[in-house]
């Protein structure tokens, strides 16, 4: 009896709410067998429920979820759950799962059968890695998995093509894979409160992005591609080194023989007819991967060896944000034009559609 008192379990006994809210709560009271019999008698009625909410409590186990086959919203937040039951995969009508502030370390494999789920809230748990089963949820539009211990985001994040909201704040992320740029529907991206030192230039491909949260990281520069985000309305940068001190060093790794040869060939590629048919496929692909030096007075290209150069952009004449760009050699630095938005009203109107709020403090 003492053990039963300390160990609370979810069992399918209902405490009714109003018809308008249609929210049912599971309670653990009395003899478990009696509760189970009551649940069986109410099975037909319970399967018509659309929402289940049983929070906040101190439950550590959920039982009998398969009873509620028509449930579309399941909320188990603010409990002490270390795992979700395997039969959660039988809730095939589920569109929203809310499991904030528990003790979850992994997700059951059966969740791959939740083909209709669109909203998943997992913030405030104990995940140390990104749960791989999430990659199977192709209809997912909203994913909150902040406040965990995740140190790496898998490259396969690009498979979640329907995402519009992705919140990864409050983890231990050191880098973001370039594949995040394939999430073309993203409107809100939260990467705050991590240990990021850089962000990929592919963020510039997220043309629907409206909010980008990068505060409380270790960022010293931003990729110039961020200026491609024409719909961006809010960019949060406070508590990053780029706000307090800027990097002026220009380091160049010695180019390889392949790089030097490729640069020369790429600059004269127009004089070689049908070069893709003459050269091996891998070599032709390498030549096509060349990047143009940003110095307008330089016709050079680069592949892997490049010079990091910081330019400063004034947003509405108030904030100076360092943006990272790449040159083919240190000699090009003198010819790089200064890019700055003046404080005139005309320039402010020009920058306004790009970024309405830059939050540095």
Query: Do 162 and 288 have their domain in common?
Result: no
200 occurs within a structural domain: yes
Q: What angle do CA 141, 147, 148 make, to 5 degrees?
A: 95
* Same domain, residue pair 186 and 230: yes
Instruction: Note whether 235 and 267 are same-domain residues.
Output: no
At 152-166, the pLDDT tens digits run 999 999 999 999 999
Residue 359 clears pLDDT 90, i.e. is over it: no
Tokens of 359: 């939050």
Looking at the structure, do residues 209 and 268 belong to the same domain, yes or no? no
Mark whether 79 and 130 lie in a shared domain. yes
Any domain includes 347: no
Residue 308 lies in a domain: no
Does residue 283 lie within any of the structural domains? yes
Asked whether residue 39 falls in the same domain as residue 13, the answer is: yes
| Together in a domain, 272 and 228 | no
If asked whether residues 186 and 265 sit together in one domain, one would say no
Q: Is residue 351 part of a domain?
A: no
pLDDT at 50: 61
Within a domain: residue 206?
A: yes
**pLDDT band at residue 39 under the 50/70/90 scheme:** very low
What is the per-residue pLDDT for 58?
59
| Per-residue pLDDT tens digits for 71-107 | 999 999 999 999 999 999 999 999 999 999 999 999 9
Return all residues near 49 (Cβ < 8 A) that are at least 6 apart: 22, 24, 68, 70, 71
Question: Does the global pTM surpass 0.85?
Answer: no
Same domain flag for 240 and 275: no
Give dist(CA 290, CA 149) in Å, integer: 37
Distance from the Cα of residue 144 to its chain's centroid: 9
Number of domains within the chain: 2
Assess if residue 78 is contained within a domain.
Answer: yes
Domain ranges, residue 57 = 2-244
Residue 356 lies in a domain: no
**Do 184 and 275 fall into the same domain?**
no
Do residue 28 and residue 78 come from a single domain? yes
CATH of residue 148's domain is: 3.80.10.10
Spatial strand order of the sheet with 222-223 comes to 222-223, 319-327, 307-315
The tens digit of pLDDT for each residue in 104-148 reads 999 999 999 999 999 999 999 999 999 999 999 999 999 999 999
Q: How much is the mean pLDDT over the chain?
A: 75
User: What would the two tokens of residue 331 be?
Assistant: 């000699």
Residue 286 clears pLDDT 80, i.e. is over it = yes
Kindly state whether residues 202 and 268 are assigned to the same domain: no
Confidence at 292, pLDDT banded by 50, 70, 90: confident
């Amino acid at each position: 009896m003492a053990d039963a008192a300390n160990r609370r379990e979810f069992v399918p006994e209902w405490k009714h709410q109003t018809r308008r809210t249609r929210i049912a709560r599971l309670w653990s009271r009395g003899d478990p067998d009696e509760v189970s019999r009551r649940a069986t008698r109410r099975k037909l009625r319970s399967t018509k429920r659309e929402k289940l909410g049983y929070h906040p409590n101190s439950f550590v186990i959920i039982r009998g979820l398969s009873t509620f086959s028509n449930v579309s919203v399941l909320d188990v937040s603010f409990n002490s759950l270390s795992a979700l039951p395997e039969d959660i995969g039988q809730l095939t009508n589920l569109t929203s799962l809310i499991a904030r502030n528990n003790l979850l370390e992994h997700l059951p494999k059966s969740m791959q059968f939740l083909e209709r789920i669109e909203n998943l809230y997992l913030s405030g748990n104990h995940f140390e890695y990104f749960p791989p089963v999430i990659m199977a949820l192709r209809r997912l539009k909203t994913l909150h998995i902040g406040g965990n211990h995740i140190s790496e985001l898998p490259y396969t994040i690009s498979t979640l093509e329907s995402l519009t909201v992705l919140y990864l704040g409050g983890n231990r992320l050191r880098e973001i894979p370039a594949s995040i740029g394939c999430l073309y529907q993203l409107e809100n991206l939260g990467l705050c409160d991590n240990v990021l030192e850089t962000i990929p230039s592919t963020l510039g491909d997220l043309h629907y992005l409206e909010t980008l949260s990068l505060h409380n990281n270790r960022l010293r520069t931003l990729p110039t591609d961020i200026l491609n985000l024409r719909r961006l309305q809010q960019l949060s940068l406070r508590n990053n080194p780029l706000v307090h001190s800027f990097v002026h060093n220009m380091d160049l790794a010695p180019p390889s023989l392949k790089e030097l040869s490729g640069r020369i060939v790429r600059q004269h590629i127009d004089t070689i007819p049908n070069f893709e048919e003459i050269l091996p496929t891998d070599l032709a692909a390498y030549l096509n991967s060349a990047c143009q030096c940003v110095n307008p007075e330089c016709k050079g290209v680069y592949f892997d060896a490049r010079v990091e150069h910081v330019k400063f952009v004034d947003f509405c004449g108030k904030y100076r944000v360092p943006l990272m760009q790449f040159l083919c050699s240190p000699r090009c630095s003198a010819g790089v034009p200064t890019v700055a938005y003046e404080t005139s009203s005309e320039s402010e109107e020009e920058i306004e559609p790009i970024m309405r709020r830059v939050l540095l403090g």
